[in-house]
Amino acid sequence: MSARLIDGKASAAAFRVRMAAEAARLRQAHKITPTVAVVLVGDDSASAVYVAAKEKAVKEAGFIARDFRSPASLSESELIAQVDMLNRDPSVHGILVQMPLPAHIEPRRVIAAIHPDKDVDGLSPANAGRLLTGEFGLKRGLVACTPLGAMMLLKETMGARLSGLDALVIGRSNLVGRPMAQLLLQENCTVTTAHSQTRDLPRLAARADILVAAIGRAELVRKDWVKPGAAVIDVGMNRKQGSNGKSKLVGDVAFDEVSAVAGAITPVPGGVGPMTIACLMRNTLIAAALQTGLPQPDI
Ligand SMILES: NC(=O)c1ccc[n+]([C@@H]2O[C@H](COP(=O)([O-])OP(=O)(O)OC[C@H]3O[C@@H](n4cnc5c(N)ncnc54)[C@H](OP(=O)(O)O)[C@@H]3O)[C@@H](O)[C@H]2O)c1
């Protein structure tokens, strides 16, 4: 391996220490404990694992996580009523509705029902719009956690050298690809967004100084696609059968071969994933500031 390993686990741990200190300061100076309501509908086992990890992390940092669990039979209007109740509860600073929701509930309507100042996932149309217009970004406002965490890792790795570079984002979801492209644009990258209908992806990838893979296809990005020296951010989380017959977590990038040509690369696991949870905490601190009239913390 010649690429520098971008250690998301270490970066997230350091970031979490800073946020725990900010939470302690808010408590001491203003008697405010950042509080996030975690809403889980149904019994999807992967969602339960993600929710438990998020709650553990926020509690360790001195935040409050309040659990709202409902059976899969909850109707869309009942869920929206629950969100509305949380919107009006002044003790709740952030609302996180865990996805995926049961098939009979339209996620867009639920996300749109969350008050923008409590939208700690940064996915509401209002907050997506603020990112698009540049009002929100790396240093301010509620921005989608996974791309924000990916961007923080890139900034740590590249610093001011990001300006003017060619960036390729593979994936255009509202959750990752689109906000990632906006964050890169704010850093003065020249951004291309690719998707399943893109022609000749390897040709686009070959000229990218930065390649972000948010596809959901195990190890799709191969060595011969990647420009030598490029920074590669792998957002993908896919289950694959290992040689020992057990399933293992892999990214969208073929890590072993790509790390031989890339300049820097995130591993899976231990790359973007830990930063996602850390950014949820960052957003909860910002949400607490937005609702209490305090200045946004410098974190
Ligand atoms: N680390 C974390 O914390 C974290 C958080 C969220 C997601 N993830 C992971 O990130 C990955 C992407 O998540 P997502 O929610 O963005 O997924 P998604 O909503 O399914 O979007 C996937 C995107 O990839 C594009 N795509 C699919 N196949 C492609 C191909 N062969 N060539 C080029 N583009 C292709 C799709 O194009 P179309 O738009 O044309 O369909 C779509 O835009 C998944 O592995 C997910 O598990 C990780």
H/E element, 65? strand 64-70
Ligand 1 within 6 A of 218 CB?
A: no
Cα of 236 vs centre of ligand 1, distance in Å, is 7
Instruction: Name the residue of 176, 204, 221 whose CB sits within 8 Å of the most ligand 1 atoms, as the mutation to test its pocket.
Output: 176
Evaluate: CB of 4 within 6 angstroms of ligand 1: no
Question: Comparing C-alpha atoms, which of 206, 247, 210 is closest to residue 226?
Answer: 206
Tell me if residue 211 falls in helix, strand or coil. Answer: strand
Does the annotation count 43 as an active-site position? Answer: no
273 lines ligand 1 (CB under 6 A): yes
Instruction: List the residue whose alpha carbon is closest to atom 9 of ligand 1.
Output: 236
Among residues 82, 98, 234, 252, which one is catalytic? 98
Whether 205 lines ligand 1, by a CB cut-off of 6 Å, is no
Q: Minimal CA–CA distance to 40: which of 57, 59, 60, 55? A: 55
Q: Is the CB of 194 under 6 A from ligand 1?
A: yes
Dihedral angle sign, alpha carbons of residues 133, 135, 140, 141:
negative
For 215-264, what is each residue's pLDDT tens digit?
A: 999 999 999 999 999 999 999 999 998 888 899 999 999 999 999 999 99
**What is the pLDDT at residue 299?**
81
Q: How confident is the model at residue 298 (pLDDT cuts 50, 70, 90)?
A: confident
In the chain, the percentage of residues whose pLDDT exceeds 90 is 95
| Phi, psi torsion values for 116, nearest 5 degrees | -55, -35
Confidence of residue 160 (pLDDT cuts 50, 70, 90): confident
Task: Kindly list the distances between the CA atom of residue 163 and the CA atoms of 139, 144, 160, 185, 299, in Å, as whole numbers in the listed order.
Answer: 16, 22, 6, 9, 22
**pLDDT exceeds 80 at position 169:** yes
Residue 238 Cα: closest atom of ligand 1:
45
For this structure, is 98 an active site residue? yes
**Using an 8 Å Cβ cutoff, are 95 and 86 in contact?**
yes
pLDDT of 52 reads: 94
In a mutational test of the pocket of ligand 1, which residue from 123, 173, 252 has the highest number of ligand atoms less than 8 Å from its CB? Answer: 173
What pLDDT score does 243 carry?
A: 84
Span 172-193, average pLDDT: 98
Residue bearing the CA closest to ligand 1, atom 30: 196
Q: Does the CB atom of residue 272 touch ligand 1 within 6 A? A: yes
121 among known catalytic residues: yes
